[in-house]
Structure 1
Amino acid sequence: MRTSRRPTGAIAASLAAVGALVLAACGSGGDGAAENGEITLTINVYGDNFSLPDNRELYDEYEKAHDNVKIVENRSDFGTHHQNLQARLTAGSGAADLEVIEVGQVSGYIGQPDKFVNLTDHGVDTAQWTESTVQRASTPDGGTLIGLPTDIGGLAMCYRTDLFAEAGLPTDRNEVSALWSTWEDYVDVGNRFLAEVPKVKWFDAGGHVFTGILGNQEETFYDADGELIVEENDAVRDAWDLTVSAIEDGQSAALPEFSPEWNTGFQQGQFATITCPAWMMGYIQANAAQTKGKWDIATIPGGSGNWGGSYVTVPAQGENTDAAVELAKWLTAPEQNIKLFKTIGNFPSQKSTWTQPEVAEFSSEFFSGAPAGKIFPASLQDAPVQVYGPQSGVIGTTFAGALNSVEQGTDADEAWDKAMGDIKAAAGDG
């Protein structure tokens, strides 16, 4: 995994990566049943720079219990994956048997319910997820559910304890959390950090700070009636202005997410903090294994929020839709999502898992023993039910690019105006 730009940038890692499938994808449709009765099911996932062998382990487990099923995963980057899916749905062919759609993108497919299998017709117990999670993948009348939820983001702040100590800041996660009750506090602490450790930046990229600030807002780019409100929404402009002020103060490492430079930034300690949905834990572990024990996890400014999540869908054009539905149900079952959380950090979206000992009592050795099983559900507990629209994912990506341009020297007002033009064009409102 994001943005809902999770890998727009994530995790989510992952399903995010099938629950962490959040990863990566693009591909071709099902091969159909072979003459010997074997069925090959393809699953297209999105993302890049991930290493999630656990997906294959899950597939192997399923294949062992279903000896006539073979699972093939295809991966591509975030944008290509969703663009290809739309093109294949329009063409009526070429989609995989299962397609993972990121939370910020799923509302863009709700208006095409005939293109997907209605999962409510296949004995899916939607009560295992929060009502809002199910609503995002349902038609307005609730009659069609096009996707099954995998992981959910939650929001925290991951930070480098060694760099905090160098700056004379507290390293204990409770004391660190107390430093920033608001995002304004977070930026203020960033300036204190830079004064002591000028060779290291405070955060990785402005787009992540912007997304984190908006993670605790109910309405951001769209209102509850589905109207585009991004330009007149004070919450969006305030998030932009605060992020720009931090960039202008020199706090950003200006590292495009999911880029080789971003990975190097993790590995070399080029920034001290990062807005951290649960799936980010897996990304850091996979790309900066040598930093184990140097990270910890504190509360997000504002105390709550969400960033990320995905859905497993079954395109109606597939030749093996019944078998694909059964795989989708299995991949999104609590047992599989708990496994993925413990191995790569994608927080399960099923409410029932949050109080189970395997989740609630889980702490991350990599992150200095941080009680991740308590931190992320606490963040989600008071998080608002966010409104998403058809172009939410695209808008999030647009803002990330616009803020990156500010980091490269573009005037902030010019970057804002260009972003507004691009957003209106993408939404058909320009």
Structure 2
Amino acid sequence: MIRQIPIRQLLPGMYVVDLHRHWLEHSFWRRRFFVRDEAQIGRLLEEGIVQVSIDTAKGIDLPPPPPPRLVPDNLLVRTFMSRAERLKASPATISLGEERRRASRLITEASATVSDLMLAARAGREVDAARLEPVVSKMIESVSRNPDALAPLARLKQAATYATEHAVATAALIIAFGQKQGMAQPEIEKLALGTMLKDIGQAALDARLITKPGMLSQAEYSVVQSHVEEGLSVLEATSHLSETSVAVVLEHHERYNGCGYPYRMAGDGISVAGRMAAIVDSYDAMTSDRPYRPAISPSDALRQLYDQGGTQFDPSLVTAFVRTVGIYPVGTLVLLESGHLAVVEELHHDNLLSPIVRVIYHAARHQYVTPVEIDLTRKVGNHYGQIVRAESYERWGLSPLRWLPA
């Protein structure tokens, strides 16, 4: 019998028949093999495999669950008391829809605060970075409640307000990234604060350079590059930032192979904060419309980041970032095996290949269908199959503004 199981349940002696990942996304050249030992399972974990299918006719099956035990009354009391204490300590859960409504208001508040600080920098007034701290705290709380709300909404931007909305979007991404890495909240706060402020030096530049539709000349590009040190000068003069926040401001354009700017730092010479900021900054820029090129899909952006792991970006952090936002990030248009198009609504972070999607369009008939939400992890009731590939909204004439989950 073929059985799909989480990687954490895989045991030596089992026979694997499917890794549920495209062959380009891992280094195992055989898709079917006998699991020899724990070391081999460790390699699968390192490669980011989250689900496998096993053949119980060729290898061992999962052990049966242990029989229920009678529990002494006093232990039951302690168990229920500890559960009550945990529930009391944990934040109240809210629906994803409500979290998205809250996130939309939070994006507006955060963008307005960043805009005020950039106007202050442009006018030569004090840049009070402390004004961002309450906003950053709210963003961390939002991402903690549900990581699929704030960052996907922040990806949609208006050309006139790109700078401030880019700051908010990258902060949301780095919060989720830091939480997925298990970082302590104070460190995540410093990362997010630096990310919100990283482009404040652009206030000193001619706006026509930032919004120029064509390629920049070498002289113009040198001027644009100066925004990093301009930003640090403004912040050093008026704000007291942590070392982590300063590293984000200074290093978000440095590259792993030493070809970045302003200091051509390389490898581990770039701080972890700088390497993380480089990834989120590039990802959000690639998935946003810019004067000199249109946005690309989140999946294409992740593929480019993955291809540039080891050259432009820290490869281990790129892999961790993919696990953070998903192989098919929220808002991605995907083609299903049935021939329908669907929008990714919510991720299963333990099974990134099978998110919750909203079916909206029949590709073969070129017509809309009544939207229906499908959990691709469920085998019963799913008549649409699994994801074949990511698609482009533009190719099908669909509006991402209309269909992004909200």
TM-score normalized with structure 2 length: 0.24
Higher RCO, 1 or 2 (CA under 8 Å, sep at least 6)? 1
Look at both structures and tell me which one has the larger radius of gyration over its CA atoms. Answer: 2
* Structure having the larger proportion of residues in helix: 2
